[in-house]
């Protein structure tokens, strides 16, 4: 996995200072990074062996399911323990990459980390426009997705919250649209994620992900929570 991490390392714009968690400043996209590995992925094998009954469905959205594990304020375990305890149905190389990312990027004062595998079928499926408090590192495993994202903007986030245009239920949740009006992107970047592509998206960036293919769509993530950074920003105002 060192080989893959070194492929992205130079392009990752990571900031860290004393008492501040490491965080991403801007997005980073690498086309075809895992092309060879994903070419061995068999969707029919996945569908016949994955415990699909364990999938989590988002409220009001039965089109997308996710296997996930969330770890709040926890130290990263050893690799052996990690590999044994991750029960998300991912290929070994994907779990190893998740661990490698966490071991490089998760710092002691990060507020938590999570692992996800998103599963959907059909075209134009989306969770809608939203803002996460996680830096998200994602790999497209199967199918094609359309990403649209703005740069992270803490001042705009605060304005959107105060104007009640977005809301979240708790500090571990995503900010979602609070109105019937669409949330506007200011200077968006569009990325088409093909199988094997890698994308790192900073926390606090407005984004929307939509499936482009009729068939199944799978992507896996590592999320590193940046809530500490957000709270620090609010306290400094």
| Smallest separation, CB 45 to Fe ion (Å) | 28
Q: Which is nearer to Fe ion, 132 or 150 (CB)?
A: 132
In the numeric block, the tokens 């323990």 are attached to 81
Residue 179 φ/ψ region, left for φ over 0, alpha for ψ in the -120 to 50 degree band, beta for the rest: beta
- For residues 146 and 124, what is the distance between their CA atoms, to the nearest angstrom? 9
- For residues 65 and 121, what is the distance between their CA atoms, to the nearest angstrom? 10
| Smallest separation, CB 130 to Fe ion (Å) | 6
Q: Which is nearer to Fe ion, 142 or 147 (CB)?
A: 147
Residues that bind Fe ion (CB under 5 A): 132
Q: Which is nearer to Fe ion, 132 or 197 (CB)?
A: 132
Residue nearest to Fe ion (CB): 132
| Smallest separation, CB 145 to Fe ion (Å) | 12
Q: Which is nearer to Fe ion, 132 or 135 (CB)?
A: 132
Q: Which of 85, 107, 105, 104 is nearest to 95 (CA)?
A: 85
Q: Which is nearer to Fe ion, 76 or 114 (CB)?
A: 114
| Smallest separation, CB 154 to Fe ion (Å) | 17
Chain centroid to Cα 23, Å, comes to 14
Which tokens sit at 6? 């070194």
- For residues 166 and 181, what is the distance between their CA atoms, to the nearest angstrom? 11
| Smallest separation, CB 18 to Fe ion (Å) | 29
- For residues 168 and 166, what is the distance between their CA atoms, to the nearest angstrom? 7
């Amino acid at each position: 996995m060192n080989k893959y991490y070194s492929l992205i390392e130079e392009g990752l714009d990571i900031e860290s200072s004393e008492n501040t968690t490491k965080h991403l400043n801007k997005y980073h996209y690498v086309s075809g990074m895992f092309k060879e590995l994903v070419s061995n992925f068999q969707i029919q094998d996945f569908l016949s062996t994955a415990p699909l009954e364990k999938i989590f469905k988002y409220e009001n959205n039965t089109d997308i399911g996710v296997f996930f594990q969330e770890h709040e304020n926890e130290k990263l375990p050893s690799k052996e323990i990690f590999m044994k305890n991750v029960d998300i149905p991912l290929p070994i190389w994907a779990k190893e990459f998740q661990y490698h990312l966490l071991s490089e990027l998760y710092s002691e004062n990060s507020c938590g980390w999570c692992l996800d595998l998103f599963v959907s079928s059909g075209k134009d499926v989306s969770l809608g426009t939203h803002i996460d408090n996680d830096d998200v590192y994602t790999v497209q495993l199967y199918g094609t997705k359309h990403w649209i994202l703005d740069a992270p903007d803490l001042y705009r986030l605060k304005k959107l919250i105060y104007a009640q245009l977005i809301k979240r239920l708790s500090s571990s949740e995503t900010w979602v649209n609070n109105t019937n009006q669409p949330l506007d992107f200011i200077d968006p970047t569009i990325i088409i994620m093909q199988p094997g592509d890698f994308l790192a998206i900073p926390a606090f960036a407005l984004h929307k992900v939509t499936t482009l293919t009729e068939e199944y769509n799978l992507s896996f993530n590592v999320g590193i929570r940046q809530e500490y950074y957000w709270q620090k920003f609010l306290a400094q105002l």
